Each structure stands twice: as structure tokens, then as C-alpha cells.
Amino acid sequence: MKIQKEQILDYNKKGLENHNNNFEFLADKLSKNGHDVPTIVSKLAKFQVAIPSWALGAGGTRFGRFSFYGEPSNLEQKLDDVGVLHSLTQTAGAVSLHIPWDIPSDYSAIKEQADSLNIKFDSVNSNTFQDQKDAKETYKYGSLSNINKAVRDQAIQHNLDVINIGNKLGSKSLTVWLADGSCFPGQNNFQTAFQNTQDSLIDIYKGIPDDWKLLIEYKPYEPNFYSTVIQDWGASLMLANGCGDKAFTLVDLGHHLPNSNIEQIVSILQLKGKLGGFHFNDSKYGDDDLTVGSIKPYALFLIFNELVYGMENNPQNPDLAWMIDASHNVKDPLEDLIQSLEAIQEAYAKALLIDQAELKAAQANNDVVKCQEILQEAYRTDVRPLIEKARLNSGGVISPINAYRNLGVRDALIKERGKNTVATGL
Ligand SMILES: [Mn+2]
């Protein structure tokens, strides 16, 4: 299914007057307070977030999976779904493939399709957390950290294969997340597991093209519940430094112990020029894969404050690979992703409203109250008219969720694909 430009223009007619009134009121207020509204709107329009190919179908838990209808059952259909998201939101201009779940069968056809939908191929993701059909070695006891060299070699080769696939599509980074670790004390030698991982990553790094990045993701627990080899940003940073200049840490919001100060992690990594990518989701307890901004929108805003500061003040840090990394158990994945994209845009817009010069002055005076006032003044602003304007300027819709429902997208997908389709992935 493809949403036509005429459908969007027609849909927008209804809300245009209301949007214009809201935007003018807000733009006037912000301009009077010294904000450069057109620059903020153009920054919002430029901000693009990759959709992972595994997030377009129903996810599940280890207790079960509840299907919904019209799921994409191949890569072409997944790209179509990202195309739907992008045409409505104008924020989802990239897709992040998971290998081997989504290996293209015809590269030029898939590139052509992505081009026609205005979608780029972002980071490619390797998978050594489950055994593939006909694989010689098993990852049951780890992959890049495994005590057995044959297993490590298989995992290294898989990552090199993924780089090769990404290269053919125009990707510029490889994301490595390991499930490696141990469930019980004594099961692994921590030092051996870490050193094996470092050596394996160095072998993979040798295959990273000059204009690519190697992104190393960390996670404190799950699926291993006693230890994970790359448990936190410090372990990831050590491994990245052990590889070289093209290796970076990737921060996933859900991969922290409760109450971790993620904004501080993000800030310091940017200072050191080592933040390479960022995965969005939200959580209450752990890696819950919930809709971005659904539980802790203020924390997301504080993180964006640091990201914006870093993007403006840390030229030593590269452009980041942004991706939504969530799974959908009860919502229509496309609606969930639209909500996440909007939450990301909202947090970003609010962070752009923080008066950095004023904040710096208040910090210099140790005016703690003023510092909080500056942050919360930005946070309390209803920035939605700015996001609507950015979307409209790029050819998107005023309200993506309403449009998605009004245009009957899910019904059309069910008609096209049938009821009992199942997406590859988790
Ligand atoms: Mn992730």
C-alpha cells in the first residue's frame, strides 16, 4: 500500500485552519522570547529516525505472541510499511535491517523500492543471539566471547557477511549487540570472556570500510541474568577504544538498570567523541520495549537536552544513527511507531527551546532555581504546532495517527496481505 500525495493534501484540508491558528499563536510567543522559529522548524524537519525491520510485525514475550492482521511477511512489504510511516510523518526516512531475518533477494530491486519511498538504509544489525538453520556451531554459550574458537570464528564471519550486505545497500554502520554472558556465578571467567570479545571485535573491525562505523551496544542483563559481557557504557567504550577511531558506543534507552542517569552517559560520551548511535524506547522496569515517551517523557526531554548540546558543541562526535528499538505486543505496530516518532520529535523540539546561553549564565551563578525554571519552561511548552508545521512543510500530515485511521491503512493492508500473515523477526 502506498499513500498518495492527493490523499495527504485532501486530509490536511480539514485541519489546516486550526493548525495555522495554533502555529501563529505559538510562533508569535516564541519569537517574542527570542527564539528563531523557522530554524527550529527546519531542524525538526531534518531529523530522521530509522525504523528497524523487526518492529513492523507483532512482537511477543517469552510467554506468547498475539498476532494482528495484515503483517508484512517479506522485506518488500516491510519497506512499504516504512513508506507509509514516512509519507505520513516525514520523520521515518530510514530503515535498519536485521540480518539474517531480512536479507534482500534482489539488491537492485530493493534499492529501487527504497529510493521510490525516499528511504535510506541505516545501520545493519547482526544476530548472534540465536542459532540459524543449518549453522555448524551453537551460540547457546555465547558468540564473540565464546570459550570455543570455532564458535567465535563463525560469529565473526557472520558480522563480516552483514557488513557486505550493508555495503551493497548503502548502509554506513554495523550495530553489534551481544546476548553473551552467564546465568550463574562461576559459569564464565569474566576476563576471558571480555578479552575474547575484544579480539573478535577487532577482527570484525578490520572489515569495517573507511567511511563506516562499528556501533557497540551494551545491556546490563537479559537474556543472561547473572552477567553480560558488555554490561554498560564503560565496557562498550573500552571495547570501542580497543578497536579504533571508527568504533563507537551505542546507547539504547531500555538497556540500563532502573534510575540510571542516561542523560549524563550521553553527555560524557559525546564529550569524548564516542557516541555513535541511539536506540529509542521506553520502560518502567527494564528493557520493556514500550512506546517512546509513554512512561518517562521528562527523562527523554533531559536526554535530548544533552543530545542537542552535544550536536551543537561537540564537533569531535560524529552524526548519530537514530533508531526506534521497540517491540509491539498489544498495539498496531504502525500506530505504536507513529506515537514513538511524535514523542521523539516533541522531546527534540522542547530541547531546542532551552535557552543555552541563559542556562549557562544561571549555572555560572549557581542559581539552581533558575536552572530548573529554564528547563521546565521549555518542557511545559506545547510544541505540537511546531512539529505539525515541520511535517506539513515536508509533505506529511498534520495528525499522523488520525490520518492513519481515517485513511483506513490497516484495513487496506489486511485486504492486500490477508489476515494470517506473520512477520519475520522476534
Ligand atoms: Mn537496541
CA dihedral 13, 18, 21, 25 (to 10 degrees): -130
CB atoms within 10 A of CB 190: 13
Tens digit of each residue's pLDDT (9 = 90 or more) over 375-403: 999 999 999 999 999 999 999 999 999 99
Query: 389 — phi, psi (to 5°)?
Result: -65, -45
pLDDT at 426: 56
Sign (positive/negative) of CA torsion 144, 147, 151, 157? positive
Query: How much distance in Å is there from the Cα of 392 to the middle of ligand 1?
Result: 30
Q: How many CA atoms lie within 13 A of 40 on its CB side?
A: 27
pLDDT at 425: 63
Alpha-carbon distance 280 to 41, whole Å? 22
Query: Which is nearest to 240 in space by CA: 221, 256, 218?
Result: 218
Alpha-carbon distance 233 to 64, whole Å? 31
Query: How much distance in Å is there from the Cα of 350 to the middle of ligand 1?
Result: 24
Is the omega angle on the peptide bond into residue 220 within 30 degrees of 0, that is, cis? no
DSSP letters along 322-368, please? EEE----SSS-HHHHHHHHHHHHHHHHHHHHTS-HHHHHHHHHTT-H
pLDDT at 82: 98
Question: In the structure grid, which three cell numbers stand for residue 228, read together?
Answer: 553480560
pLDDT band (50, 70, 90) for residue 283: very high
In the predicted structure, residue 424 carries a pLDDT above the cut 70: no
Protein residues placing their CB within 5 Å of the ion ligand 1: 252, 279, 325
pLDDT at 67: 80
Report the percentage of the chain scoring pLDDT > 90: 93
Residue 324 near residue 47, CB atoms below 8 Å: no
CA angle 303, 392, 19 (to 5 degrees): 90
State mean pLDDT over 240-250. Answer: 98
pLDDT at 380: 98
Provide the pairing of β-strand 120-121 with 173-176. Answer: unpaired
Residue 219 near residue 231, CB atoms below 8 Å: yes
Residue 300 near residue 322, CB atoms below 8 Å: no
DSSP 223: S
Average pLDDT, the chain: 96
Question: In the structure grid, which three cell numbers stand for residue 316, read together?
Answer: 569531535
**Element (DSSP H or E) covering residue 121:** strand 120-121
In the predicted structure, residue 71 carries a pLDDT above the cut 80: yes
Query: How much distance in Å is there from the Cα of 219 to the middle of ligand 1?
Result: 9
SS3 category, 387: helix
370-to-114, 146, 307, 357 alpha-carbon distances in Å? 47, 52, 21, 13
Tens digit of each residue's pLDDT (9 = 90 or more) over 79-117: 999 999 999 999 999 999 999 999 999 999 999 999 999
Query: Which is nearest to 146 in space by CA: 135, 138, 157?
Result: 138
Tens digit of each residue's pLDDT (9 = 90 or more) over 296-340: 999 999 999 999 999 999 999 999 999 999 988 899 999 999 999
Tens digit of each residue's pLDDT (9 = 90 or more) over 129-166: 999 999 999 999 999 999 999 999 999 999 999 999 99
CB atoms within 10 A of CB 342: 21
Question: In the structure grid, which three cell numbers stand for residue 95, read together?
Answer: 530503515
DSSP letters along 127-142, please? --SSPPTT-SS--TT-
Query: How much distance in Å is there from the Cα of 252 to the middle of ligand 1?
Result: 5
DSSP 105: S
Alpha-carbon distance 96 to 54, whole Å? 9
Query: How much distance in Å is there from the Cα of 288 to the middle of ligand 1?
Result: 11
pLDDT band (50, 70, 90) for residue 66: confident
In the predicted structure, residue 422 carries a pLDDT above the cut 80: no
Alpha-carbon distance 113 to 94, whole Å? 13
Query: How much distance in Å is there from the Cα of 256 to the middle of ligand 1?
Result: 11
Query: How much distance in Å is there from the Cα of 175 to the middle of ligand 1?
Result: 9
CA dihedral 242, 243, 245, 250 (to 10 degrees): -90
Alpha-carbon distance 55 to 113, whole Å? 19
Query: How much distance in Å is there from the Cα of 355 to the middle of ligand 1?
Result: 31
Query: How much distance in Å is there from the Cα of 325 to the middle of ligand 1?
Result: 5
Query: How much distance in Å is there from the Cα of 290 to the middle of ligand 1?
Result: 12
Report the percentage of the chain scoring pLDDT > 70: 99
Query: How much distance in Å is there from the Cα of 217 to the middle of ligand 1?
Result: 7
Query: How much distance in Å is there from the Cα of 173 to the middle of ligand 1?
Result: 14
The pTM score is 0.97
Residues in the chain: 426
Residue, of 421 and 338, whose pLDDT is higher: 338
pLDDT at 353: 98
pLDDT band (50, 70, 90) for residue 263: very high
Query: How much distance in Å is there from the Cα of 324 to the middle of ligand 1?
Result: 8
pLDDT band (50, 70, 90) for residue 260: very high
CA dihedral 261, 267, 270, 276 (to 10 degrees): 40
pLDDT at 340: 98
pLDDT at 389: 98
Alpha-carbon distance 270 to 320, whole Å? 10
Residue with cell 554459550: 141
